[in-house]
Amino acid sequence: MKDIPAIRAAQGAPRLRDFHQARWDEPVIFELSAEGERGVLVPETEPGIERAVGDVAASLPRSVLRAAPPALPEISQNRVLRHYLRLSQENLGADLNVDVGQGTCTMKYSPKVNDVLARSPKLAELHPLQDEETVQGILEVMYRFEGFLKALSGLDAFSLQPGAGSAAVYANASIIRAYHASRGEADQRREIITTVFSHPSNAACAKTAGFDIVTLHPDADGYPDWKALQAAVSERTAGLMITNPEDTGIFNPRIREFVDAVHEVGGLCAYDQANANGILGITRAKEAGFDLCHFNLHKTFSTPHGCGGPAGAAIGVTRKLARFLPVPVVTFDGRRYHLDYDRPDSIGKIRPWYGVAPVILRAYAWVRSLGPDGLREVARVAVLNNNYLLKKMLEIRGVSAPYAKGRRRIEQVRYSWADLTRETGVHSEDLGLRAADFGVHYWTSHHPWIVQEPCTLEPTESYSKADLDEYAAIIRHVAEEARRDPETVKTAPHRSTVHRNDPSPMDDPRQWAITWRAYRRKLRETAGSGRRKA
Amino acid sequence: MKDIPAIRAAQGAPRLRDFHQARWDEPVIFELSAEGERGVLVPETEPGIERAVGDVAASLPRSVLRAAPPALPEISQNRVLRHYLRLSQENLGADLNVDVGQGTCTMKYSPKVNDVLARSPKLAELHPLQDEETVQGILEVMYRFEGFLKALSGLDAFSLQPGAGSAAVYANASIIRAYHASRGEADQRREIITTVFSHPSNAACAKTAGFDIVTLHPDADGYPDWKALQAAVSERTAGLMITNPEDTGIFNPRIREFVDAVHEVGGLCAYDQANANGILGITRAKEAGFDLCHFNLHKTFSTPHGCGGPAGAAIGVTRKLARFLPVPVVTFDGRRYHLDYDRPDSIGKIRPWYGVAPVILRAYAWVRSLGPDGLREVARVAVLNNNYLLKKMLEIRGVSAPYAKGRRRIEQVRYSWADLTRETGVHSEDLGLRAADFGVHYWTSHHPWIVQEPCTLEPTESYSKADLDEYAAIIRHVAEEARRDPETVKTAPHRSTVHRNDPSPMDDPRQWAITWRAYRRKLRETAGSGRRKA
Amino acid sequence: MGKRRSTAHPYIPNSARAAKEAMLREIGAASEDDLYEDIPEALRFRGRLAIPEALASEPELRRHVEGLLAKNRSCAESLNFLGAGCTQHFVPAVCDEINARAEFLTAYAGEPYDDHGRFQSLFDYASLMGELLNMDVVNVPTYDGFQATATGLRMAARITGRSEVLVSRAVSADKLSKIRDYLRPRIRVQLFDFDPVTGEPDLASLEEAISNETAAVYFESPSYLGVIPSCGDDVSATAHDVGALSVVGVDPSTLGVLAPPADYGADIVVGDLQPLGMHMAYGGGHAGFIATRDEPRFVLEYPSRLFGITSTSVEGEYGFGDVAFERTSFALREGGKEWVGTAAALWGITAGAYLALLGPQGMRELGETILQRSHYAAKRLARIPGVRAPRFRGAFFHEFVVDFSRTGKSVTRIHRALLRRGIFGGKDLSSEFASLKGCALYSVTEVHTKGDLDRLADAIEEAVA
Amino acid sequence: MGKRRSTAHPYIPNSARAAKEAMLREIGAASEDDLYEDIPEALRFRGRLAIPEALASEPELRRHVEGLLAKNRSCAESLNFLGAGCTQHFVPAVCDEINARAEFLTAYAGEPYDDHGRFQSLFDYASLMGELLNMDVVNVPTYDGFQATATGLRMAARITGRSEVLVSRAVSADKLSKIRDYLRPRIRVQLFDFDPVTGEPDLASLEEAISNETAAVYFESPSYLGVIPSCGDDVSATAHDVGALSVVGVDPSTLGVLAPPADYGADIVVGDLQPLGMHMAYGGGHAGFIATRDEPRFVLEYPSRLFGITSTSVEGEYGFGDVAFERTSFALREGGKEWVGTAAALWGITAGAYLALLGPQGMRELGETILQRSHYAAKRLARIPGVRAPRFRGAFFHEFVVDFSRTGKSVTRIHRALLRRGIFGGKDLSSEFASLKGCALYSVTEVHTKGDLDRLADAIEEAVA
Ligand SMILES: Cc1ncc(COP(=O)(O)O)c(C=O)c1O
Ligand SMILES: Cc1ncc(COP(=O)(O)O)c(C=O)c1O
């Protein structure tokens, strides 16, 4: 009789997981087609209707009709389902792994009960144009949830319309534009100031909204550069759009001074609170003096990321900017909830209807399941987890946490493997892919790539000490392996669903193929040209 | 630019899947415990209740109270979910693989829409004792579904109470007993005749019901032995309980003569129709003269197998036996549905309440989605698939389909690898485990192990030609490998979640451990005795 | 319409003509009919099945079935106090998520390798139940608590080699019916009384009935009438004194606060998992557990599958497989113990997840909350003129008998009044126990708020007035 | 009560005291407060959040939220004819199963290796849409059709280097508002008319407005008013004549029977995926697609992610990854095209599954069924005195304008009467289009039976009487 737990304990503490991801080797869906198979049937028209209207399609003008049916595959229901279930297993997902490697994305536990509520036919089968009388429940959810956000930010009015964080940043930029336009300063105020460690969307969305972007770099300690800000502000300044804590996990302690300086020159300040998870109930937009802010519901408020949406976001403003919010807004007359469209100064529509209702409902339920104390506990434990993981990470040779040496971080940490890369030639990306062989991974962070060989870890409140210990043990193992056996790391992953891509088609217009039909065509063309060449 | 489809085509036609099952290497759930973690919280009692009743637990007699809390693990919700989601991926499941290897079990597609319906709160939140007035919908489903089974069997009365096929076989044995008792022949009629290729439950359940079992073996052609039957019947015969087609896939063409012979001596005949998938609407219990029958809803009627239940079954009888059916039965007065308990001759209860309602609802929906033509098509395509796979299998060297040479089979085929085993020393079990490395498998069939080195394949109507071709290609590959490289086959699986078990603890009382606590205790004891010995 | 008739059915890929023709060609048959060559013409059904035409599209199917279901009024839409063997508890969303996973939902009987998840989650389940029950052996679930009880008693008879069991009269008529049917072939069933005042097992009646032929004494905690026996060890001792086994049925949801039967001498513990994370589903949420000590004379008498832990060819890897498979009817047909077959494994997995979610603290709090709510309810009802609650003096957990006999109104009449107010009153016991005419069994759990209980009391007050 | 306050929260494992203490010890901090050292006291929020107390247990939470939802009356409980950009179609159960899979639901941005399933299923999606649209490039979905339209127009402006777009007047006020807001910084938006009789694009009005500064002409099939343009190639040709692009918004559910815009000259095709397997969810089911030919000048102007197929280091293995990632704001911040971020990928996966389930035959039958039902509805309504349906003579698919102006009753009044009968009448257009006072837009799809449509007609007949 073997003592398996003892053997496992002897294999490491914590032991590395002997992992292999599901690998189904599925064809592309078109390859599953078999003549005549059907996946679902459509209701047939009743004879009474047929008799009354005949063959309507045949009566339409030739020019509007499709000549041949679309070349979709023909697949039975069982096989379609099997295809997608297999593909689903070939995905990690926050429900499946210790998902701390997608730092800045606040991958946290999305409670199943909230999904159940969001899938209720009482929400799923609501049309957005129904009479207000028939949608009092969801309007109440929206109205109340806006109230929660007011409490969490200290700002005065909210809209839940934006479909995600970047859309919210864009909407805030639009409001800033509208505000200055309302004062006749639209042409003068063309600059948005941001920091390089604010999420890239602050720059990109403001640019899309028509502004010029002024980007501040950090000072030597990694804090947003106060001198640079002072130099940047002017009568051209439309506003400041900034994340805090920044994507490095560092909180800008002079944030109030930044805001004041921008206000001084007549600009507005928008707080990207998509990183709010570590400061919920600890510090707010109001105290820092912001005019606008936004939250990501799919980050801080736990709604699931859905492979990249549907998501949801909220924008909040002070009283003076409320009139610019998107239409409609939800109002309450003490008895009933309404949708108010009569807002002449509004920037108009950001997205259809009133926001991503199932996401809002989940976020509402999440707040209700925690209450005021629970929300603060979320923040405190997220920060505890982050600083614990920081401690564990810094025990690994070859990694560093640039900037603000010895200071605590808030919600995440941007690390650097520059030392290890110098020593071994193994890049951060390789380490992340090798970690995938143990059922976790990390990404190498988005822009800016100022921190060399970066990775960003954000443990949130959702992971236990044991989870973080396991994660750190995997990263330690991988880093040590980079010294011992760099080839294994550089050719990883070995135990994921698939192996390293040939990247060459991805940036080559002759080879890239974004659909199966394009791929087949290019293969034919290549074969043809190959033949011609030969 | 690589032509991947062409490469894949060159790798075989059909190509073997390059498969690996998910492997998460999860600990036993107790190993996940961390002091103080919680998975879900229980509603707290309102202060008003506390005030009114105080600490009720403390007021109970000491002798009824638990001394120490149960030593359950303490785990956060996220981690519990993650554990089970990972374990779920470590399971094949009919939704995930071409599940034709569990022959005799009729693994077919369980439509998702039926699950959705079965999970409706309108069913999930019904208490079985609710006033009839509040459960007219589900009673109507039951009543109508019994009607479908009457049509499919030709018998007169049904009960949906049994929880699965074997429970139905038992209930039928009970009815046979009650019938003979009602005629004062209980002591005389002590024998149930069955065939060795009828499902083992026919023998086991009848035995449990108090009967002695007479088992007929097949004749040289593999058909139930007509001479043996004639020799077996006597005034001791209580009944015949028999599957047809048998688990070999062979249909007994003399079934009517068997039934008549048993009737002649005063016995009753029960038709195990759990293999009915291939004969739905083609041949029925009535035409063969049976007095009783049963269907498995989780086989023929597509309700999912749930890792081994919840399942459901139905028993049907002729008019003369209707009074013995379990209580209650569903009745209809032309306006309302009722549960009739007033049945003095009934055998009583087989299971709580009236059957496994969500399973019945799924089966009802399945029949409705097919209609009379669709049900016949199910049978015809199941038989077509089976004979197609038979053809493909018999092209593989080393396998045979014993008995009834050259004849068609109905729903499944019991194959034999005896030739291959003789040649290579590789056993059927090894082949099945090696097949698992390609994402499918088969089992080696249940009792009787008369067919040497058996496996039973049953493709049902749910699989396409491409699925069957893939399956046959895998089996062919594995069989050829058994010649080429028997060691690889004998040590399989290599790409499943886990590897070959050490079987020794399983039949050794000192080592077997059916719970974690027993395992820990035995490890301590072994360690102790080891120390003592040393 | 007609044009669609040749359409392949979504559930039958090879009903597509192209595949069918290719396959028939391959096997050398002209049509599927040829494949039925072994079925004589006399046995062929040539009629048309008397089954309604297909609702082949999902929307039509859903509209029809949802229309039927809409005729039900569920406990989610009403206030329910029915229990009596099927209890309305809260079901955590994670339990539903797990048992809806396609892999668990549609797996069946794969090998320990390709279905490792099923084996491990059922081993986890048995291990969690083992702690709750303080027992070392727990089966892969059988159908339901009725079956577990009946099998537990047959196991006891086999273990002791005796052929009589004593069953407390405080079990449900339905369960007793099942026991009688299941034991009839070989085992006599005798009843012993409960104390009319406390509702507890009547030790004198038991002593009188017990003998050297007794294989087992069966009683429950709580009993069908809601009463928690405080004399469990006396009952067990009485059984043991004559060489019989103590078989106890227990509601597992009580065991965060109540002593597990093993602690008062039970040899075989049986019951139903429905309270541990299963919806009532009109009786579809049942699964039966059987637990014993880890002794071969017990283990080898289980008919169910038993999953054990072992090592594999890879160091540090957990493997799971069947313990003592040769006991089973799969291996031995009529030579096996009773039988084994498809039962209720998915609910075992679910109950395991439930226990892992609740944990020791949760199970305790659940018990405490239920005790407080049910006692509050009894107290409120007892204030209503003519209503006695609880009817028995013994301790109770979530259920208790309410005696309406002095209100002058029948239970039927009172409950009809409640129904009009959207309340499902408890199980009417009037015809089940001669001594309990005018009584009903009310179930109160963690799902009932104070407001719910006050509403019940007010409604009854009006109904009996 | 109080005793539970120290309980760890189920969503926050390290709120358990033991873990917290161990971790604080490890990092050398006395309490979590120390970790906020960088946040100045003046910025600290010291109040209590004005948020209601926790409903920490699931039953309490569910009771509360379900109580709120119960105040809604859904289209499942009523008969709905609202469309106008969000359409009630049937959603196959398999679609819901797939998008409820934990792995798809909770994945985000893993690598092509550990999230292979996400990459492949979105490549599958784009490929399926490509066939439906007859286009070679389809993006990973953006937020919704509004965004797809607005981005499509900005793409056209970048591609042509021009700064004016012409938009058909037959678009919704909301979409126009979005377009205006999104294009305001750099692009002028001009409108051209639709024909008051047919509802089709007015070519004369277009000719008049178009110029060498026009970057794009935008129109829809069907238009917001339900009309299918039969002159699509004329509109496209008019655009092409001046070097502008033809940008067409299309409802993908029509494309089993209607010609894809690429076939009548569209250069950029945009729209919303909601009809392909998404519930309406009060507007939560939207996702936007953008499709073009496979030319670098188009491809390099997409802001969205584009997934492409490639080989890997294992022979015969499919790999997927980002095409031309350097376009994006992830790579270039403000130097990228517009921006990329979380959008609506899950609905892309779902739409792919939907198209795979329906197949060519299903998409055709869907279109035919909808055409027949909507035309039947129009015919029935047209028989009602004073009601004109359809208001426009152009061909229509699932939506058509009903003109009540000659009934003497306002749309509001008629619809209020319908609501009392459990019917949600179509979108009132009275204030949206000056020329359509007294008109409403009715949507009829495969979910409406003949009985439903007859019921609508009868109800309207009564309401206008
Ligand atoms: C700080 C910050 N701001 C904005 C965003 C953009 O959010 P989204 O991806 O929802 O567009 C993110 C996304 O992770 C973020 O971390
Ligand atoms: C022919 C036959 N009879 C009876 C049974 C027993 O059914 P169950 O497993 O539901 O007890 C089976 C099971 O597969 C079977 O195939």
Closest C-alpha to B172, from B197, B155, B185:
B155
Residue A272, ligand 1, Cβ within 6 A = yes
Closest C-alpha to C162, from C207, C201, C217, C232:
C217
Beta bridge partners of B315: B159, B294
Nearest to C376 among B53, B66, B371 (CB): B53
Q: Are A112 and A283 in contact (CB under 8 A)?
A: no
Q: In this structure, is residue A524 part of a structural domain? A: yes
Report the share of chain B in percent with pLDDT over 90: 96
Beta bridge partners of C307: C322
ipTM of the complex: 0.98
Q: How far apart are CA A130 and CA C114, in angstroms?
A: 50
Strand ranges (E), B385-462: 413-416, 454-457
SS (H, E, C) C70-118: CCECCCCCCEECCCCCCCCCCCCHHHHHHHHCHHHHHCCCCCCCCCHHH
Binned at pLDDT 50, 70 and 90, residue A528 comes out as confident
- With an 8 Å Cβ cutoff, are B40 and D58 in contact? yes
Q: Which two tokens stand for residue A447?
A: 């822009």
Tally of domains in chain B: 2
Is D420 touching A (CB cutoff 8 A)?
Answer: no
Q: In this structure, is residue A72 part of a structural domain? A: yes
Q: Tell me the one-letter amino acid at C175.
A: K
Residue C454, exposed/middle/buried by CB under 10 A (0-12, 13-18, 19+)?
Answer: middle
Strands D164-168 and D214-221: parallel
Q: Which two tokens stand for residue D122?
A: 């979105």
- CATH architecture, domain defined by C80-89+363-464: Alpha-Beta Complex (3.90)
**Distance from the CA of A496 to the center of ligand 1, in angstroms?**
27
Is B331 touching A (CB cutoff 8 A)?
Answer: no
Residue B161, ligand 2, Cβ within 6 A = no
Q: What would the DSSP string read from start to end of D131-195?
A: HHHT-SEEPSPBS-HHHHHHHHHHHHHHHHT--EEEEES-S-HHHHHHHHHHHTTT-EEEEE-B-
Q: H-helix or E-strand containing C322? A: strand C318-322
pLDDT in tens, A27-79: 999 999 999 999 999 999 999 999 999 999 999 999 999 999 999 999 999 99
Q: How far apart are CA D144 and CA D149, in angstroms?
A: 9
pLDDT (0 to 100) of residue D6? 60
Q: Which two tokens stand for residue A322?
A: 């409320």
Based on its alpha-carbon atoms, the radius of gyration of chain D, rounded to whole angstroms, reads 26
Strand ranges (E), A377-477: 413-416, 454-457
pLDDT (0 to 100) of residue D2? 35
- With an 8 Å Cβ cutoff, are B39 and C336 in contact? no
Report the share of chain A in percent with pLDDT over 90: 96
Q: What ligand has the least distance to the C-alpha of A296?
A: 1
Q: Show Cβ contacts of residue A452 under 8 Å, excluding neighbours closer than 6 positions.
A: A416, A417, A418, A421
Tokens 């869906």 belong to which residue?
A: A29
Strands D164-168 and D188-192: parallel
- Chain D residues within an 8 Å CB radius of B35: 16, 18-19
Per-residue pLDDT of chain D (465 residues; tens, 9 = 90+): 334 446 899 999 999 999 999 999 999 999 999 999 999 999 999 999 999 999 989 999 999 999 999 999 999 999 999 999 999 999 999 999 999 999 999 999 999 999 999 999 999 999 999 999 999 999 999 999 999 999 999 999 999 999 999 999 999 999 999 999 999 988 999 999 999 999 999 999 999 999 999 999 999 999 999 999 999 999 999 999 999 999 999 999 999 999 999 999 999 999 999 999 999 999 999 999 999 999 999 999 999 999 999 999 999 999 999 999 999 999 999 999 999 999 999 999 999 999 999 999 999 999 999 999 999 999 999 999 999 999 999 999 999 999 999 999 999 999 999 999 999 999 999 999 999 999 999 999 999 999 999 999 999 999 999
Closest ligand 2 atom to residue B313 Cα is 10
Two domains, one topology: C80-89+363-464 and C93-355: no
Closest C-alpha to A20, from A81, A109, A92, A108:
A92
pLDDT in tens, A199-236: 999 999 999 999 999 999 999 999 999 999 999 999 99
Closest chain C residue by Cα to residue B492: C113
Q: How far apart are CA A209 and CA A190, in angstroms?
A: 10
Is D353 touching A (CB cutoff 8 A)?
Answer: yes
Q: Are B102 and B458 in contact (CB under 8 A)?
A: yes
Distance of CA D285 to the CA centre of its chain: 7
The angle that helices D93-100 and A77-89 make with each other, rounded to 10 degrees, is 10
- Sign of the Cα torsion C257, C261, C262, C264 reads positive
Residue B275, ligand 2, Cβ within 6 A = yes
Provide the whole-model pTM.
0.98
Q: Which two tokens stand for residue D334?
A: 């403000």
Q: Show Cβ contacts of residue B432 under 8 Å, excluding neighbours closer than 6 positions.
A: B101, B441, B442, B443, B444, B455, C111
Q: Are C260 and B332 in contact (CB under 8 A)?
A: no
Q: Show Cβ contacts of residue A282 under 8 Å, excluding neighbours closer than 6 positions.
A: A376, A379, A380, D36, D39, D44, D45
- With an 8 Å Cβ cutoff, are B310 and C264 in contact? no
Q: How far apart are CA D371 and CA B60, in angstroms?
A: 71
DSSP state of C174: H
pLDDT in tens, A90-103: 999 999 999 999 99
- With an 8 Å Cβ cutoff, are B112 and D97 in contact? yes
**Distance from the CA of B274 to the center of ligand 2, in angstroms?**
6
Q: In this structure, is residue B35 part of a structural domain? A: yes
**Distance from the CA of D341 to the center of ligand 1, in angstroms?**
7
Q: Which residues of chain C have pLDDT under 70?
A: 1-6
B533 has a pLDDT exceeding 60: no
Ligand 1, atom 16, lies closest to the CA of A104
Closest chain D residue by Cα to residue C103: D101
pLDDT (0 to 100) of residue A526? 86
Q: What ligand has the least distance to the C-alpha of A105?
A: 1
Q: Which two tokens stand for residue A367?
A: 């707040």
Q: Which domain holds residue B29?
A: 24-57+68-89
**Distance from the CA of D31 to the center of ligand 1, in angstroms?**
30
DSSP state of D312: B
Q: In this structure, is residue A160 part of a structural domain? A: no
Q: In this structure, is residue B519 part of a structural domain? A: yes
Binned at pLDDT 50, 70 and 90, residue A532 comes out as low
A143 has a pLDDT exceeding 70: yes
Residue C361, ligand 2, Cβ within 6 A = no
Mean pLDDT of A119-134: 98
Torsion of CA D411, D417, D418, D422, to 10 degrees: 150
What does pLDDT average to over chain B? 96
- The count of CB pairs under 8 A between chains A and B is 101
Q: Are D282 and A339 in contact (CB under 8 A)?
A: no
- CATH architecture, domain defined by D93-355: 3-Layer(aba) Sandwich (3.40)
- With an 8 Å Cβ cutoff, are D177 and A83 in contact? no
Residue A171, ligand 1, Cβ within 6 A = no
Q: In this structure, is residue B271 part of a structural domain? A: no
Q: How far apart are CA B137 and CA B227, in angstroms?
A: 50
Binned at pLDDT 50, 70 and 90, residue B43 comes out as very high
| Domain parsing of chain D, residue ranges | 80-89+363-464, 93-355
pLDDT (0 to 100) of residue D7? 83
pLDDT in tens, A463-510: 999 999 999 999 999 999 999 999 999 999 999 999 999 999 999 999
The residues in B 110-139 lying below 8 A from A, measured between CB atoms, are 111-112
Cis amide bond preceding C52, omega within 30: no
Count of residues in chain B: 534
